[in-house]
Amino acid sequence: MVTNNTYLLPIFVAILIVFINIIFSQKLKYDKRFANDMSNRLYALSFVKPFVWFINPDEESPKVKAEENLIKRAGLDHLMNYRVFMTFQSILFIIIIILYAIILLFADQIMAFLDFIFRIPPAGTGVTMETRIFIGVVLLSGILIPRKYLTRRAKKNDYFFTQELPVIQLSIILMLRAKRPMNEIMYTLGRNETRYRKIFEKANRIYLRDKVACWDYLRKEFKGTGFEDAIEVLENMDMYSRAETIRVLENGMEFLIQRSAEQKKKGAAFGNLFSQFSMAIPFIGVLFLGALPFAMYIFDMMNNGISF
Amino acid sequence: MKVKLLPILQDISNYLMILFVLYIVYYLFVLLIERRRREHLLNLHKKRNSVQRLGDRIQSIQKFYDEVDEFMKAKGKPNISDLVFYGVVGFSVIIAVGMLLTGQFVLAILYPLAFIWFFRKIMKVSKKNPIVEMEETLPTAIDHMLRVFSKYSDIKTIIYETSLMISGPLKEELDLMSRQMNTRNPVNVLEDFSEKYDSVWLNNFGFTLLGYLGDSTKDETVRNLRHLRNILEDENKTKKDAISQRKPSLMINYALVVVAIFFGVANIIFNPKGFDFFFHSYLGLFCFTAGCASILGTIYMNIKMMKIDK
């Protein structure tokens, strides 16, 4: 079933070029939102026709909020938001569709080319429908990859987010011992290169303007990590003795250390589990290099009816 | 009886001959390394070797050679870095020639490139992070520092004395700090140190010492340092425990790799269909590529699993 579709190739190339041209030829008419130029472009594209269909314009809807939250947890909010992510996904989808169309129409030619490159005698049967459908399924599952990546990153970050909290509390205690004022503590925390730098940077700016809002902001950011107690203590530090505040913080730190150790044990258990499963990879090597060729040989012998 | 014995004797003498040649090659190799070591001691190696001269003209060769050189320096064997370079290039050429002999011209280009890419990847992943090394030595350093604290009160002397008792990158850092304190204000030096590295532990270490220069007492500083040391020690211990628990599965992984290589070679040599299957069918090409990739991937994964991450 070798059909001659070669005349369609220039049309597909033209469609691809036009499509890429749409993306890269638009002028950005407003301020840059993100650090990355590509993200800015995607953000601009999210307002034009083909992509705007895929995007929920209501920013308050719970689904959009959940997406934004996922991006933030993954630590990529300086690179993208919901609109950018959805635009990226729809572009990926369109590219996959075009790619699949090309493969579907020119499968025989591609096969002939591969036969030529790898010097394999052509089978002459053409590409079966099953293979074409299989390729389609594999390509379409590529759409799931970006979201999978985000979720994995978010999970990893969630784990590490609680790991460095004892150290932060320790540095707060050390600074309090050195009789530093609260605004200086905030400033130092926002400047030190930790996982929480961005949070404290923002908190410091809020603190200069409105102290209550700053504590609320911190409480929201560290929700459910066990660090809220420390924030509570720091909030009404002025009312009590400094030495007692430090003692409360020190006791709280014990709890944080214990908690992070527990989590670490869980993580290490997972790592050990992974190291046991890692055997699968060399085993695949044994299978492919050793077992499969041997099996092929045996089957071949059986087919040819050679008796042992 | 004599007639039967003769071919066996011939075989044995052939094998002995091969062993002898291999031994001579090995011995020459040892001699070469020994000569390199002597050259290195006499500082003769500063003369640019042929790879470096070739690298003046071709950028990519220079880049790769520099990477190998840096890697071998970190391993403590800078005298054989060009031998390693030749080894990697030689192996790539062997792969290329082998693939040419099987008739796969495209793969004869792709596989060597993939091998060199993989080797660079391995060099990158096995490089030790200086911050991790410093964090590993920090608890010991603090122990020594507390001892020194019992004798001296001057921060410059304390840092200098501590730097004498430890080793690694942290020693150099402390040494540098104590020397800088001769000419600069110790507060500024410590502030620079606290901001220099992307590590909370080192930041806090510097900060505690800053507190000592500020208004903390000696007792408070000692207590804070001890606290810091205990937390960090726990952290390091958990990481090391996790890694030592992974060791058995690493051994199994390497054993499986050896088995895979053995079976692969056996299939190519002894299986009458093996050669055709591996190099002249799509399934075989896939098996060969995926099998080799999984062997290299195992090596990469094992190195990565034994490494303490930041």
Asked if the model's pLDDT at residue B166 lies above 70, the reply is: yes
Res B246: pLDDT:
80
According to the model, what pLDDT value does residue A270 have? 66
CA distance A102 to A109: 11
Q: What confidence category does residue B294 fall into, taking pLDDT thresholds of 50, 70 and 90? A: very high
pLDDT digits (tens, 9 = 90+) for B168-178: 888 988 999 99
Q: Which chain B residues are within 8 Å of A284, Cβ to Cβ?
A: 290-291, 294
* Residues B111 and B95 sit within 8 Å (Cβ to Cβ): yes
Domain ranges of chain A: 8-159, 164-273
In order, the DSSP letters of B113-155 are HHHHHHHHHHHHHTSPPHHHHHHHHHHHHHHHHHHHHTT---H
Give a three-class secondary structure readout of A74-100.
CCCCCCCCHHHHHHHHHHHHHHHHHHH
Query: Quick check: B301 pLDDT over 50?
Result: yes
- Mean pLDDT in chain B? 85
Q: CA torsion sign, A214 to A220 to A223 to A229?
A: positive
Whole-angstrom Cα distance, residue B296 to residue B253? 11
Buried residues in A233-252 as b, exposed as e (16+ CB within 10 A): bbbebeeeeeeebbebbeeb
Q: Could you give the number of structural domains in chain B?
A: 4
Q: Higher model confidence: residue B92 or residue B216?
A: B92
Determine the pLDDT at residue A307.
52
Q: In this structure, are B198 and B105 located in the same domain?
A: no
Residue, of A94 and B55, whose pLDDT is higher: A94
What is the Cα–Cα distance from A307 to B159, expressed in whole angstroms?
82
Q: Classify residue B56 as exposed, middle or buried by CB count within 10 Å of its CB (0-12, 13-18, 19+).
A: exposed
C-alpha distances out from residue A27 to A31, B22, B97, Å: 12, 68, 52
pLDDT of residue A4: 65
B237 plus B142 within the same structural domain: yes
CB A289 within 8 A of CB B291: yes
Same-domain check for residues B207 and B223: yes
Interface of A with B in 267-306 (CB under 8 A): 268, 271-272, 275-276, 278-279, 281-294, 296-297, 300
Whole-number Å distance between alpha carbons of A155 and A74: 8
Range of the domain at B310: 246-310
Q: Tell me how far apart the alpha carbons of residues B31 and B25 are, in angstroms, rounded to a whole number.
A: 10
Q: Which residue has the higher pLDDT, A223 or B48?
A: A223
Tokens, residue A184: 């200086």
Domain match, B216 and B149 both: yes
Cβ contact (<8 Å) for B266 and A290?
A: yes
Q: Flag whether pLDDT at B49 surpasses 80.
A: no
More confident residue, A122 or B209: B209
State how far the Cα of A254 lies from the Cα of A258, in Å rounded to an integer.
Answer: 6
A179 → chain B, closest CA residue: B215
- Residues B165 and B200 grouped into a single domain: yes
Residues with Cβ < 8 Å from A178, sequence gap 6 or more?
A: B210, B211, B214, B215, B216
Q: How far is B192 from chain A (nearest CA, A)?
A: 12
* Disruptive mutation site among A286, A299, A301 for chain B (greatest number of B CBs within 10 Å): A286
Task: Report CA Rg, chain B.
Answer: 28
Contact map slice: B 84-123 vs A, CB within 8 A: 103-107
Question: What span, in angstroms and rounded, lies between the C-alpha atoms of A232 and A187?
Answer: 19
A103/A12 Cα distance (integer angstroms): 11
Mutate to test the interface with A, among B135, B235, B308 (most CBs of A within 10 A): B235
One digit per residue, the tens of pLDDT, for chain A of length 308 reads 445 667 777 887 888 888 778 767 766 666 677 877 788 888 888 887 777 788 888 878 888 888 888 888 888 888 888 888 898 998 899 889 888 888 888 888 888 888 888 877 777 676 777 888 888 899 889 889 999 999 988 888 888 777 778 878 888 887 787 677 888 888 878 876 677 888 888 889 999 898 889 999 988 888 877 788 888 888 888 888 888 888 888 888 888 888 887 877 776 666 666 666 778 888 888 888 888 888 888 888 888 765 54
Phi, psi at A73, each rounded to 5°? -65, -35
Residues B187 and B252 in one domain: no
Q: Residue with structure tokens 């459910």? A: A224
pLDDT value for A30: 62
Which residue, A225, A214, A223, A240, is CA-closest to A166? A225
pTM score, whole prediction: 0.74
B44 vs A99 pLDDT, higher one: A99
pLDDT of amino acid A1:
44
Give how far Cα B222 sits from Cα of A30, A178, A242, B203, B207, Å.
56, 13, 20, 17, 13
For residue A171, count other CB atoms closer than 10 A to its CB.
21
Instruction: Enter the DSSP assignment of A4.
Output: -
Scanning B275-304 for CB atoms below 8 A from A yields: 277-278, 280-285, 287-288, 290-292, 294-295, 297-298, 301-302
Q: Span B15-26, mean pLDDT?
A: 93
pLDDT of residue B95: 92
**pLDDT of the residue at B290:** 92
Q: Which of residues 25-64 of B touch A (CB under 8 A)?
A: none
Residues B180 and B278 in one domain: no
B55 CB-near residues (< 8 Å, 6+ apart): B61, B62, B65
The alpha carbon of residue A204 is apart from the nearest alpha carbon of chain B, in Å, by 18
Candidates A172, A174, A180, A256: best to mutate against B (most CBs of B within 10 A) is A174
Residues B119 and B152 placed together within one structural domain of the fold: no
For the range A255-262, what are the long-range contacts, defined as Cβ-Cβ under 8 Å and sequence gap of 24 or more? Answer: A255/A226, A256/A165, A256/A166, A256/A169, A256/A226, A256/A227, A257/A166, A257/B231, A257/B234, A259/A162, A259/A226, A260/A162, A260/A163, A260/A165, A260/A166, A261/B234, A261/B238
Helical residues (DSSP H) of chain A, grouped into ranges: 8-24, 37-45, 49-52, 62-73, 82-105, 107-118, 129-140, 144-163, 165-177, 182-191, 197-209, 211-221, 228-235, 242-277, 280-286, 292-304
Domain co-membership, B179 together with B231: yes
Residues B272 and B238 in one domain: no
